[in-house]
Copies of this chain bind each other. A is one copy, B any other.
Amino acid sequence: MAAPPELFAARGTPGEVETSLRFQPKFDADGLIPAIVTDATSGEVLMFAWMNAEALAATIETRVAHFWSRSRAKLWKKGEDSGNTLSVVEARVDCDQDVLWLKVDVAGAGVACHTGARSCFYRTLPLGSKPTPNLPLQRA
């Protein structure tokens, strides 16, 4: 899906997207771009969510992370109810300009996951054996 022309540049050639210093974000067929959120201090991955153009523009302008809630189909200022808003310290884009990385400070209780965990990634997978349908996870 093309970016709204009043907000973001159209996509250039693959080479231009990789090397230029012009922001040309790619939104997928649903109009979304994925965002990885890490803790600006610890580096821990806190969460992963999707942005539409409006959420991305609001994030850039306000320095507070906004996403598109796919389940509720609405713009979502993360932490608007819980108080755990995400202040964006740095935002990066990848080589293909189709993924974002936000380094954030978590306000309030410092909790990024809706389960109450600091990070959504609170379980590890076993490594080194063939997967079965009974693969056990461990608390991180």
Contacts and interface: CB of A to CB of B under 8 A. Distances in A.
A73 interface: no
A36 B47 CA distance: 10
Interface residues of A, number: 62
A22 B135 contact: yes
B61 A9 contact: no
A113 interface: yes
Q: Which of A115, A130, A131 has the most CB of B within 10 A?
A: A131
Contacts of A44: 43
A81 to B, nearest CB: 17
Contacts of A6: 132-133
Nearest to A99: B48
B137 A8 contact: no
A45 B95 CA distance: 12
A66 to B, nearest CB: 12
Nearest to A123: B93
Query: Which 9 pairs show the lowest CB-CB distances between chains A and B?
Result: A43-B43, A94-B120, A92-B121, A23-B135, A91-B125, A9-B133, A48-B99, A21-B137, A95-B120
